[in-house]
Structure 1
Amino acid sequence: MILPASIPSPTIHSIQLGPLTLHFYALFILSGIAAAVWLTSRRLTHRGGPPGVVLDIALWAVPFGILGGRLYHVVTHPTDYFYPGADLWKILFVWEGGLAIFGAVTFGSLGAYIACRRAGIRFLSFADALAPGMLIAQSLGRLGNYFNQELYGAPTTLPWGLEIDPMMSPAFPAGLPADTLFHPLFLYEILWNLFGVAVILLSERRFDLRWGKVIGVYFIWYGIGRSWLESLRLDPTEFLLFGLKINMVTAMLIALLGVVIITVQSQRHTAPETSVFLPGRAPAVPATQGAADVNPLPETTTRSNRRERRP
């Protein structure tokens, strides 16, 4: 079998169904959300959460996340949207690409926190259940970047170099030949994220990762990987901090946040987490259950009482 000398990029990024245009970027984002909701629901229910509550939380978190992801992208790429003669409506064209994970996580967390308070669920318990699903969702989302030809790194001669069409990618570096191959950063991140899912699930089996420690591992893992990937990206950025791209700084801060969460929560909570509910918000015992069903007496005590009541 002859292996390909490069990774070809798709020649289309949407399909037309009558009057409806389906953009692959949007479809992969939605499929990632669906996968994350399904896995998070299974994990939270397994920990004692009520069935269906994850979907209720997602109805808050997803719109907040999309809004935050788009806002972060537009703010950090202002010249892509604000210039003489620009069509400002394109700020809303999410399907064309441009959802920043850092903004999505920040705003999505706010929406999830509000929903968790309404449902009586501990926010960090929900976040722990969500962590591996987030990495799966991000992996599926990166396939959307592949179809949009918008996430690649420096030129490379490696056999897995990514082909990019200069006419389809506005970030194609000027002066390079059209047949230049690039590092497929979308693929690197997919592999890194999926490996992170395995790390989280295996770590949960080995250690007592509750009270927010799983989401801490997620922050560390994703922050480290994203810092490295951002150093390879060619996308122009207009925001630098300490001479570094703003996304690199944000990724490093996220990894540091993960370390802080694990350290603080390990000191604050030494006992196992026994409930995902906020204090006083656990479901009440059904009224159909009698007192004996809730806290039955030991069999030996019951027999002793019977003997004492004999004439």
Structure 2
Amino acid sequence: MDLAYIPSPSTGVIHLGPIPLRGYAFCIIIGVFVAVWLGNKRWIARGGKPGTVADIAVWAVPFGLVGGRLYHVITDYQLYFGEGRNWVDAFKIWEGGLGIWGAIALGAVGAWIGCRLRGIPLPAWADALAPGIAIAQAFGRWGNWFNQELYGRATDLPWAVKISEGPNRLAGTYHPTFLYESLWCLGVAALVIWADRRFKLGHGRAFALYVAAYCLGRVWIEYMRVDEAHLILGLRLNVWTSIVVFLLAVVYLVLSAKLRPGREAVVEPVASGGAGGKDAAAADGDDEPEDKSSDTASPADAAKPEGGEAGATGAKSEGKPSDTADAVPADAAEAKATVLTKDAPTAQPEGEAPEAGNR
């Protein structure tokens, strides 16, 4: 009786005229677009501006691709620099071979540069991107299906993947570890979205949760794989990497929750100019001084005796006779006003130091 299985594509590339469309690259591109789209929606919900996620992704994605390839080439150098190997193959990224650990590490460097240019905290941006990255990985793993690579041990389960004869592989049905990891990543994305809504994760904790949850799944999935890998104390290198990164992510979650609870109040600074610029200036204490012309006495006003013009002209103030109008002659009052005007100090606007004190 024939067993059910998942068929593998006969080829991983389709030629559109002279242009090759490779399934591996196509899966990665779809994943990137979905991650940016979802990250943009989450960023706006946190108070950020539309388009910021894409602007920073322009830095993060190329760095991530280079980092992912470097990790793969370094940890599997025998595939490219061993006897009978061609080192030029190390640059053929379309043939598969991206290490998620290197992609995340170097991609974070690119994201940090983009965030610095925009004045944005990297942890807040990473929190917005976290579930989208997991979904991007879910799409990217189907690239391994196109290339018939990274499968698990032989099995006759109904959902086994059919692998055809090829270089360094035998025909047969195997555990579809690409499918297991794809489904696990979708579960991680759902977990992060739920936990973020439930606990208002901030300051990089949503991203740390994604890392920790992914590493848990990667341990048992990696253990099932049969492709060549370096062993340390009997365990594959990526198993040890998953364990170490998982512990680091958990430590960050715990310490961050104690040191910086809650979520960022502001994830993106307000642009200068307009209402936003005015508000920012007000927050920094750069408001324009209020018009205090009504509170600043002119020299002429300073010369006037208390009671206004009534003191100089003999007119009555507030309906009462002036006590000095008859005692002081008009000429003497005018002379006194001239002296007061000359000797009176220049009034300074409120809160402003004399010119000699400015440094």
Q: TM-score range by the shorter chain?
A: 0.7 to 0.9
Shift of 1:106: 0.7
The DSSP-based 3-state class of the residue aligned with 2:15 is strand
The DSSP-based 3-state class of the residue aligned with 2:81 is coil
The DSSP-based 3-state class of the residue aligned with 1:107 is helix
- Which structure is larger by alpha-carbon Rg, 1 or 2? 2
Shift of 1:242: 3.1
Shift of 1:85: 4.5
Q: Deviations over 1:53-112 (max 9, x none)?
A: 111111111111110101111111112111345332211111110011111011101111
Matched, 1:212 2:200: no
The answer to whether the 8 A contact 2:25-2:94 is kept is: yes
Give the equivalent residue in structure 1 for 2:249.
258
Distance 1:75 1:289 in 2: 49
CA 290–7 in structure 1, closer or farther in 2 if over 3 Å, else same:
closer
Distance 2:19 2:196 in 1: 44
CA 196–66 in structure 1, closer or farther in 2 if over 3 Å, else same:
same
Give the equivalent residue in structure 2 for 1:6.
5
Give the equivalent residue in structure 2 for 1:71.
70
Question: What are the residue-to-residue correspondences of 1:38-57 with 2, within 5 Å?
Answer: 38-57=37-56
Shift of 1:282: 4.0
TM-score normalized by the length of structure 1: 0.85
Shift of 1:46: 1.5
Matched, 1:283 2:271: yes
Give the equivalent residue in structure 1 for 2:215.
223
Give the equivalent residue in structure 1 for 2:135.
136
Structure 1 counterpart of 2:214, one-letter code: Y
TM-score normalized by the length of structure 2: 0.74
State the percentage of identical aligned residues: 44
Q: Deviations over 1:170-210 (max 9, x none)?
A: 3425xxxx3x3110001111111111111111112221211
Structure 2 counterpart of 1:19, one-letter code: P
The DSSP-based 3-state class of the residue aligned with 1:81 is helix
Q: Which has the higher contact order (CA 8 A, sep 6+)?
A: 1
The answer to whether the 8 A contact 1:9-1:163 is kept is: yes
The answer to whether the 8 A contact 1:67-1:107 is kept is: yes
Structure 2 stretches lacking a partner, 5+ long: 284-359
Q: Deviations over 1:105-158 (max 9, x none)?
A: 111011111111111111000110011000110011011111100021011121
Distance 2:37 2:168 in 1: 35
Give the equivalent residue in structure 2 for 1:188.
180
Q: Deviations over 1:25-67 (max 9, x none)?
A: 0011111111111111111122111221111111111111110
The answer to whether the 8 A contact 1:155-1:181 is kept is: yes
Give the equivalent residue in structure 2 for 1:245.
236
Shift of 1:272: 3.8
The answer to whether the 8 A contact 1:171-1:235 is kept is: no
Q: Deviations over 1:255-297 (max 9, x none)?
A: 11221121111011134421113xxx44346259878xx89xx
Match of 2:265 among 263, 269, 274: 274
CA 268–288 in structure 1, closer or farther in 2 if over 3 Å, else same:
closer
CA 116–160 in structure 1, closer or farther in 2 if over 3 Å, else same:
same
The answer to whether the 8 A contact 2:59-2:114 is kept is: yes
The answer to whether the 8 A contact 2:181-2:217 is kept is: yes
The answer to whether the 8 A contact 1:219-1:257 is kept is: no
Shift of 1:243: 2.8
The DSSP-based 3-state class of the residue aligned with 2:132 is helix
Give the equivalent residue in structure 1 for 2:160.
161
Structure 2 counterpart of 1:229, one-letter code: I
Distance 2:278 2:142 in 1: 54
Distance 1:264 1:152 in 2: 37
CA 9–285 in structure 1, closer or farther in 2 if over 3 Å, else same:
same
User: How many aligned positions are there?
Assistant: 280
